[in-house]
Amino acid sequence: MFALNRLTAGVAAAMLALAGTSASANKTELDALDLESAPEKPAPTSVGTRFFVEAAAGQANQRFGQGTRDIGRLSLDFAHTQKITPELRAVLSNRLDHFHPREAGSQATVNSLREAYLGWQPVEDTVLELGRVNLRYGPAYGYNPTDFFRDGSLRAIVSANPFTLRETRLGTVMLRGQKLWSGGSLSLAYSPKLEDRPSQDTWSLDLGSTNNRDRAVLALGTQLSSSVNTQLLIYKQSGLSSTVGASVSALVSDAAVLHAEWTRGKEPSIRDVLLMQTGQNKTADRFAGGLTYTTSSKLSLTAEYQYNGFGLSKNQWNGLGSINPQLQGAYIREALRRQEITSRQAYLFYATQRDLVWKDMDLTAFVRLNAEDSSRLFWLELRYRWSRFDLAFQWQENRGKSGTEYGAFPDRRAVQLTGTYRF
């Protein structure tokens, strides 16, 4: 992550904003109502290969009297889909990242085998998938309560973009079956426990991060009309009772799309885990909802409200710090390893402008606000696209008092240039 050291790599997941992919003004209704996170593209269904090299270099202005530091990254990203027979296809997706300088406690080079699975479609309305699958749920932009397989899936933080994080994260080894029909689908996925603990080894499959417990999810998707899509979910993991969830995406006008997702479950909070208070499972809700408005000039504006009933209120956060200030840092790292919002309530304000000044020049900007402590994260990217090459300037600033979420980030401000070449 260009603005953070790896010690707080989990904190970087809080920087949820778009970097290069954005909601287009001329999206089709089907794209707008996708119940995966907004700009996500569906999994490939035919032969195709994607390979790009990305290099980033910049400088970060640090807090706590640490001055400035140079930052850099080199990444190789490969994905391939191959039809073996008319009914059988294979998917392989891998990413290799090298960071300079190497952060304490982390590897300089990290390999992420994101997906490796076989998909079998014996008949038109039935699909089976076996292997490491990147299964994503939820239409929200910055926080996805129904995205049950997100926790522990990030081996390397390379961007503040939530959609990039969803693409670069590890998939989960599972067996998944889908039944399709006109206007709906029913899917069941089972993910077994394969390892106990995460691994930081460069070439590890890291099954201890993605498959450290038995899990299953049942999802029913329905297109109620040409303007409304819904999804109902039931999630179960070993040792806990079931969690229920739902999401909706709806066109409320030709230019406005409403999205919302919600879950309710019973589990221990991160605070109780840190304080080793066992047997304190609580029932609470998670929610994310917002509205995206797109103008005819390709300006897209999104406002999103986020709620985590397992998160800490301002008084609880201060209370945790009074016990031990280091617990606050541990809380943030664990919450964001799970890709949770750290506070009870938060907001995201996000904007993109396509073809700014010139064609193929895009501007993306966002603000994340912790509603409990009023700390903020600002992020901006200006990107120009050629046929095979992108060049982007990125700026990021974390504001907040000492002891707040974004005020604890070691990098106060950072800038970098990123170049991406597609083969």
Residues 6+ apart with CB under 8 A from 181: 125
By C-alpha distance, which of 242, 188, 237 is closest to 210? 237
Q: Annotate 112-131 with three-state secondary structure.
A: EEEEEEEEEEEECCEEEEEE
Alpha carbon distance 394, 332 (integer Å): 24
Cα separation, 355 vs 39, in Å, equals 17
pLDDT at 44 over 90: no
The pLDDT of 323-342, averaged and rounded, is 90
Q: What is the pLDDT of residues 280-305, one digit of tens each?
A: 899 999 999 999 999 999 999 999 99
Q: What is the pTM of this model?
A: 0.88
**Distance between CA atoms of 361 and 383, rounded to whole angstroms?**
6
Helices (DSSP H) in 198-300: which residue ranges?
207-210, 270-274
Contacts 24+ apart (CB under 8 A), 40-45: 40/136, 40/163, 40/166, 40/167, 43/91, 44/79, 44/81, 44/91, 45/81, 45/89
How many Å apart are CA 218 and CA 233, to the nearest integer?
Answer: 6
Residue 403 has pLDDT above 70, yes or no: yes
Say if residues 15 and 162 touch (Cβ distance below 8 Å). no
CB atoms under 10 Å from CB of 49, counted, come to: 12
* Amino acid letter, 49: T
Res 32: pLDDT: 54
Q: What confidence tens digit (pLDDT) does each residue in 136-181 have?
A: 999 999 999 999 999 999 999 888 778 788 889 999 999 999 999 9
- What is the CA 200 to chain-centroid distance, rounded? 20
Six-digit token string for 73: 């990254």
H-helix or E-strand spanning residue 328 = helix 325-337
pLDDT confidence of residue 46: 55
What is the distance between the alpha carbons of residues 367 and 18, in angstroms, rounded to a whole number?
A: 11
Average pLDDT for 7-31:
36
CA distance 38 to 20: 13
Using one digit for the tens of pLDDT, what is the confidence trace for 187-228? 999 999 999 999 999 999 999 999 999 999 999 999 999 999
Domains, the chain, with CATH or none: 6-422 (2.40.160.10)
Q: Other CB atoms closer than 10 Å to residue 57's CB: what's the count?
A: 15
Judge if the upstream peptide bond of residue 101 is cis by omega within 30 degrees of 0.
yes
Contact 61, 413 (CB under 8 A): yes
